[in-house]
Each structure stands twice: as C-alpha cells, then as structure tokens.
C-alpha cells in the first residue's frame, strides 16, 4: 500500500516546490524520512495521534493562500480560528466517517458543519487533495454556521469588515 500511496501522491504533486500539508498520522514507522524523500513537494506536518516520530510539529496551523485563510489540524472542529470570518478547515483522523451536518439532539435541527473537509488520504482515494480540488469542494459546502454577515459584531466588538490579519504559515 505504501508504494501505491507514493505513486498517487507524486501523480498529484508534480512540482518539487509545491507545498504539501500533512494533517497527522503520516506513518506509524519510527523513521518517516525514507518515505518523505520519495514524495514530491515541500512537506509541512501537523502532529497526529500516531506521529511519535515528529519532534517539532504544530497541533494546529493556519496560513493565507491569496485572500483565503486555511486552518489545518489533525482533528475536525466545530469552530476553528477565524471560522466566523469564513476561514476553511482541513483535517484528518476521522477516515471520512464524519457527517456533513449534525442533528441537534435538543431541537432536532440539521446543523451544517461549514467549510471544512477531511483531506486524509483514506477519504480521497489514497491521494492528496490539491488546492484546486479543495476550492471545488469548499465552493459546494455551506457557509460556516458562525459566519458573521456584513456589519455583524464579533465577540470583541469588531465587525466583519474589520477581520483581523492572519499570520503566514511556514514557507
């Protein structure tokens, strides 16, 4: 299976300068370097529940790609940094098993989970999700449930027009 994942990865990530964000559980092996060396791209790792080989990695990471804020974490979240300003969330861990909406046990309303997606390879034909593919997915998803509309006040008294800046990620 490892050979097939490497082949599929390199079919999507062709440019050695392409940035690849791994959202955890990259390998159970103690040494991931032999695998990483065979994968195209510049690799950034988010710590997962099985990444004991990682000694220096973030649990959550955010960056801006153009005007879009992207938040990466191993675990799915109901809200995430800047979700109320329309940021996207990518995660792994759940193996494609999380529903696109959640039913409230109190009122039984369907609550959409917003602009978030499981980018784990086991949810995506054992291949990475390209930025172009992610844009298509996010365009089809509903807005984040906590999205502020123009003029709405956030919990710090700011408005949607005054969205705070987002720090740049590595690279």
**Structure confidence at residue 76 (pLDDT):** 93
Mean local confidence (pLDDT), 45-55: 90
Asked whether residue 70 carries a pLDDT value surpassing 90, the answer given is yes
User: pLDDT, tens digit, for every residue of 121-169?
Assistant: 989 999 999 999 999 999 998 899 899 976 666 655 554 444 444 333 4
Question: Residue 147: beta bridge partners?
Answer: none
The per-residue pLDDT of the chain, averaged, comes to 85
User: pLDDT, tens digit, for every residue of 10-43?
Assistant: 999 999 999 999 999 998 888 899 999 999 999 9
Question: Residue 103: beta bridge partners?
Answer: 110
Q: How far is residue 170 from each of residues 65, 133, 163, measured CA to CA in Å?
A: 12, 22, 22
**Structure confidence at residue 156 (pLDDT):** 56
Q: How far apart are CA 78 and CA 57, in angstroms?
A: 22
**Structure confidence at residue 151 (pLDDT):** 60
**Structure confidence at residue 99 (pLDDT):** 75
Superfamily of domain 2-162: Metallo-dependent phosphatases (3.60.21.10)
Burial class (CB in 10 A: 0-12, 13-18, 19+), 87: buried
**Structure confidence at residue 154 (pLDDT):** 60
**Structure confidence at residue 110 (pLDDT):** 73
Query: Among 17, 58, 40, which Cα is nearest to 127's?
Result: 40
User: pLDDT, tens digit, for every residue of 86-119?
Assistant: 999 999 998 888 877 767 777 777 766 899 999 9
- Full 3-state SS string of the chain: CHHHHHHHHHHHCCCCCCEEEECCCCCCCCCCHHHHHCCCCEEEEECCCCCCCCCCCECEEEEEECCEEEEEECCCCCCCCCHHHCCEEEECCCCCCCCCEEECCCCCCEEECCCEEECCHHHCCCCCCCHHHHHHHHHHCCCCCCCCCCCCECCCCCEHHHCCCCCCCCC
Query: Among 73, 68, 64, 118, which Cα is nearest to 95's?
Result: 118
């Amino acid at each position: 299976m490892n050979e097939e994942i490497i082949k599929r990865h390199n079919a999507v990530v062709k440019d050695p300068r392409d940035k690849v964000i791994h959202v955890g559980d990259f390998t159970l092996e103690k040494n991931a370097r032999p695998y990483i060396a065979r994968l195209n791209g510049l690799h950034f790792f988010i710590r997962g529940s099985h990444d004991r080989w990682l000694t220096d990695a973030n649990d959550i990471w955010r960056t801006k790609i153009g005007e879009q804020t992207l938040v990466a974490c191993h675990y799915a979240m109901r809200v995430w940094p800047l979700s109320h300003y329309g940021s996207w969330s990518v995660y792994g861990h759940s193996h494609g098993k999380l529903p696109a909406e959640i039913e409230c046990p109190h009122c039984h309303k369907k609550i959409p989970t917003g602009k978030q997606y499981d980018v784990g390879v086991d949810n995506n034909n054992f291949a990475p999700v390209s930025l172009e593919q992610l844009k298509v997915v996010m365009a089809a998803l509903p807005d984040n449930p906590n999205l502020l509309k123009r003029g709405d006040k956030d919990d710090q008294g700011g408005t949607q027009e005054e969205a705070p800046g987002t720090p740049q990620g590595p690279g």
